Structure 1
């Protein structure tokens, strides 16, 4: 019998915390059941399956990340907003590595449309308004920004930068400066 007080929300929060501890790929219904001291079957009254659980973690994480980024860029424009956006993104990934991995999960279109995934695009577009970019250039710039930040964060998390004497922070600063330069001089 399930322990009283288990809800879909509590399961999702616990799974997100577990993702940060053991990695998003290691979040399973069994691991979560062990965390709550119950049998796997007792969780299925709150979640459909492991995919549903992971989707819930991804949706929760996207909302957390959007809130974190929104707070960082509020009242900023141009390079200041870009730096705040990039630092908030990277900071969240460093603080919550398992949850950050969850943000890369492909969501079905309905879930993506009703989750914070759209907020991320809007926050990025808000930063890009400081560079006077409009469609279709804005979409290209959104993709450039996210792929650069995700690439850097992923390589950093994998330890790819630690064997070089140049400090990771110095390279991060230069990467954001380079993005700012590219955005200011966007090709016509």
Structure 2
């Protein structure tokens, strides 16, 4: 890639590709400099440091995931929307493992405030509102959804489910069915 194409967006895109190809931990400013055929110091006029690159990949992944979720859940509600949202996450985790890993790291304040993060949150809340959960319970339901989907995908990715029958897909569908039941029969608000 020519130096004229060296922009912050190009650096982040290259970092995302590197993360998918070689693993999230392989992303470094020096590896990216080699990719662009420049000295490491040259990248610092485009990105602050490795942390900024990783944050950039995180935001990029959030935006891509939001696009997939929006397409998946469009026109659906309740269980159909839940299944589609979860499937969008699973497909993204499989197709973009390095970017998925970026989504699993603690978000920087700038990432939390990003438009991409706001879109993912809005889409999750839209799906959950299809279950008619009280607004006061949406944060709890979002946490349950995230813990179930992300936990399952993390265990699946590291091979934890590959040693037993039945097939992992069967367990995936059961987990989503269990979430559907939980959201349809959500417990009353606690007074604690």
TM range (shorter): over 0.9
C-alpha distance after superposition, 1:17-73 (max 9, x if no partner): 000011112100011111112111111111111111111111111100111111100
| Contiguous gaps of at least 5 residues in structure 1 | none
How far apart are the structure 2 equivalents of 1:51 and 1:45? 15
Q: Which residue is 1:155 aligned to?
A: 155
Q: Which residue is 1:187 aligned to?
A: 187
RMSD: 1.2
The alignment's TM-score, normalised by the length of structure 1, stands at: 0.95
Q: Which residue is 2:3 aligned to?
A: 3
Q: What's the secondary structure of 1:160's corresponding residue?
A: coil
Q: What's the secondary structure of 1:45's corresponding residue?
A: coil
The alignment's TM-score, normalised by the length of structure 2, stands at: 0.93
Moved more, 15-24 or 106-115: 106-115
Q: Which residue is 2:112 aligned to?
A: 112
1:35 aligns with 2:35: yes
Q: Which residue is 1:67 aligned to?
A: 67
C-alpha distance after superposition, 1:110-148 (max 9, x if no partner): 441133112212111111111100222111101000110
| Contiguous gaps of at least 5 residues in structure 2 | none
The alpha-carbon deviation at position 154 of structure 1 amounts to: 0.3
C-alpha distance after superposition, 1:55-98 (max 9, x if no partner): 11111111001111111000000000000000001110110010
